[in-house]
Chains A and B, each alone.
Chain A
Amino acid sequence: MNRARQFGTLIGLVGLCFVLWILTPYFLTVSNLLNVAEQTSINAIVAVGMTFVILSGGIDLSVGSIVALAGVVLGLALHDDRSLGVALTLTLGAGAACGIVNGILVSLGGLPPFIVTLGTMSIVRGAALLVTEGRPISGFASSFRVLATGRAGFIPAPVIATATVYLIASLVLTRTTFGRYVYAIGGNEEATRLSGVAVRFHKTMIYGVSGVMSAIAAVILTARLNSAQPIAGMMYELDAIAATVIGGTSLMGGEGTLAGTLVGALIMGVLRNGLNLLGVSSFLQQIVIGGVIVVAVLLDTVLKRKHRG
């Protein structure tokens, strides 16, 4: 059943591409498709973490703020003349730390994830603004910027990073006990706990994964803009949730795949790109994107009902 739904999303993406191919000659060119892939990478990576969290029955509203804080940590470290390795370690560490704090509050504190991450969304954003006094940190060496501007052959570095993240994350999700537990916790947390799984520990780690993904996205964003902005990443949580849900992951947890999320992120990226190419007014764009989210989820729900008979 899962497979059928995923193909549904993929068919949606291909259909969207087909429509754009008819409507504009600029859409289906190599350079534009690479352009879309590059633009989608940041949301796609944040959405990996979001998928882990939603699969486990939670939600993470703090991802955008973590992108900002991790970016700021990265910017400060680089301006402090740390080596790239040290700076990246600090950045991923900051992301992981934020995520683990979310996880501890959810699992040990027993608080609803919506409330916890709503709180940390504000706290983490405030911290990013406080550290930088609201100002962006900008101007980095090209040895760092290559993480966004570099190309392997003709493929942009962010696209390679995204593919790597998805391959590793789906290995973790489908081939490790941790991955199984993510689904199990989302499917039935109580039953999982009773069968001897350390649910609290694993939930904490799940939010940690989300934090790390936000930090990876922050690296790409900072390299792309050549600037770490404390106001970066606003509303990223909504884009990531949209990609996850369009991709067929159930907000109730326990059901969904990373392939679906990738396709969901690409649908949003292709749509934004296509609407730009067509010169659609930015107000109309918001309506269309919102409409697609609703229709995608509606289709998904209808299909699901049919399959269940």
Chain B
Amino acid sequence: MGNVILALILLAALPALSCNRGNSLPGAGGKPTIALVLKTLNHPFFVDMRRGAQEAADRLGVTLQVQAAEREIDVEKQMQIVENLIQTGIQALAITPSGSREIVSALVKARDAKVPIVVVDTRLDPKAAADAGVRGETFVGSDNYEGGRLAGEFLVKATGGNAHVGVLEGIPGHETGDSRLRGFRDAVKSSPGVTIVASQPANWERDQGFNVFQNMLQAHPDIDSVFACSDLMALGALEAISAAHRTGTIKVVGFDALDDAKKAIAAGTMEASVAQFPAEMGRVAVESAVKVLHGEKLPPDINVKLELVTKDTVK
């Protein structure tokens, strides 16, 4: 008991020792500092995004601070990172939200600290953002709905309009995955021969893609094609297909065009993947943040191109 009180008193005394040295120091070396907060750095997509962002930052002469949570779904950790970065007096924040609604609470703090926000890759939930009075200067990202539609149209063509599709979804409630799914569903809706026989979340992860698709295949042996909302899940599904000795009989379409997926497409075990250009996203994000610092007005949306990678176009 006495010890708890002692510890609390000592901690309460700490702020008294502080001397606000932070106020006298702007960004390092007078260069403006832009923070890029990613969902995670253990995914090639975000590693590419960091590369593109770093190149742009070097070119434009700004300091780039890149931080990410250990796990993609850890929005509370991402919030802590944002809070901590605000303390270092960053001039602008580019962020790929781990949760479209949850991150709004952190962005409120950025707004209060007068740090402009560029939202990248995953949109904010419009209602949550409006309720909290948070506004991104712009949104830089792929049109995920359009990407889902591309994948759907391709699958309809590749199967001649006759398919039993298993769908691997991302984490439920993630705007990115939900949009891809909507695009895909809308694209196959008009083909009566194409039915979605199962649709389950595999939470963006490769091992879950494996397990979930293995289970799907048990429940629906008639599945002859797969749409996975990300390549990691698609690659998991490919392994499940190979474990079931059905390689070549099931058409797999993924999203992201990761290197491993491109190899699979070249080898013919996978049909197609929708390519996003994360490095491009990183570049545009930093450029947009710099424009904001120069007082330029930005359009509400900046779409980064999407491309369908198939056996014919894979490099």
Contacts and interface: CB of A to CB of B under 8 A. Distances in A.
A6 to B, nearest CB: 6
B133 to A, nearest CB: 12
B81 A28 contact: no
Which of B18, B25, B171 counts the most chain A CB atoms within 10 A?
Answer: B18
B102 A25 contact: no
Given A166-B8, A231-B171, A35 B83 contact: yes
Interface stretch (B85-93, B179-187, B255-263): B85-93
A244 to B, nearest CB: 14
- Chain A interface, >50% SS class: helix
Contacts of A83: none
B301 interface: no
Interface stretch (A113-121, A201-209, A258-266): A258-266
Given A35-B87, A279-B67, A28 B4 contact: no
B8 A35 contact: no
B173 A136 contact: yes
Contacts of B23: 29
A117 B173 CA distance: 28
B172 A135 contact: yes
Interface stretch (A100-108, A192-200, A221-229): A221-229
B79 interface: yes
Contacts of A259: 3-4, 6-7
Contact of A174 (B1, B20, B41): B1
Interface in B155-172: 171-172
A230 B132 CA distance: 23
Given A134-B173, A229-B75, A25 B25 contact: yes
A127 interface: no
Given A226-B101, A263-B7, A276-B67, A135 B173 contact: yes
Which of A14, A35, A133, A221 counts the most chain B CB atoms within 10 A?
Answer: A35
A136 B73 contact: no
Contact of B80 (A163, A166, A229, A276): A276
A34 interface: yes
B3 A257 contact: yes
B93 to A, nearest CB: 13
Given A139-B131, A166-B8, A26 B22 contact: yes
B71 interface: yes
A31 interface: yes
B287 to A, nearest CB: 21
Interface residues of A, number: 62
Nearest to B101: A138
A25 B81 contact: no
Interface string B1-45: 101111110110011011111111100000000000000010000
B216 interface: no
B127 interface: yes
Nearest to B83: A35
A147 B105 CA distance: 13
B156 to A, nearest CB: 28
Interface in A196-250: 221, 224-227, 229, 231-232, 234-235
Contact of B20 (A29, A221, A258, A276): A29
A225 B87 contact: no
Contacts, number: 146
B102 A225 contact: yes
Given A25-B25, A139-B128, A224 B73 contact: no
B87 A28 contact: no
Interface in A133-190: 133-136, 138-139, 149, 163, 166-167, 170-171, 173-175
Contact of A10 (B10, B66, B89, B132): B10
A156 to B, nearest CB: 11
A234 B1 contact: no
A259 B73 CA distance: 31
A38 B69 CA distance: 18
A133 B172 contact: yes
Contacts of B132: 226
B99 A136 contact: yes
A122 interface: no
B67 to A, nearest CB: 6
Interface of B: 1, 3-8, 10-11, 14-15, 17-25, 41, 65-71, 73-76, 79-81, 83-85, 87-89, 99, 101-102, 104-105, 125, 127-128, 131-132, 171-173, 201
Given A29-B18, A282-B69, A285-B70, 12 more contacts: A14-B10, A26-B87, A28-B14, A30-B15, A170-B1, A173-B1, A174-B1, A225-B79, A225-B105, A262-B8, A277-B88, A282-B41
21 contacts: A6-B3, A25-B22, A25-B25, A29-B23, A30-B18, A30-B20, A35-B87, A134-B173, A134-B201, A138-B102, A138-B125, A138-B128, A139-B131, A170-B1, A227-B99, A234-B73, A259-B3, A263-B7, A272-B80, A283-B41, A285-B70
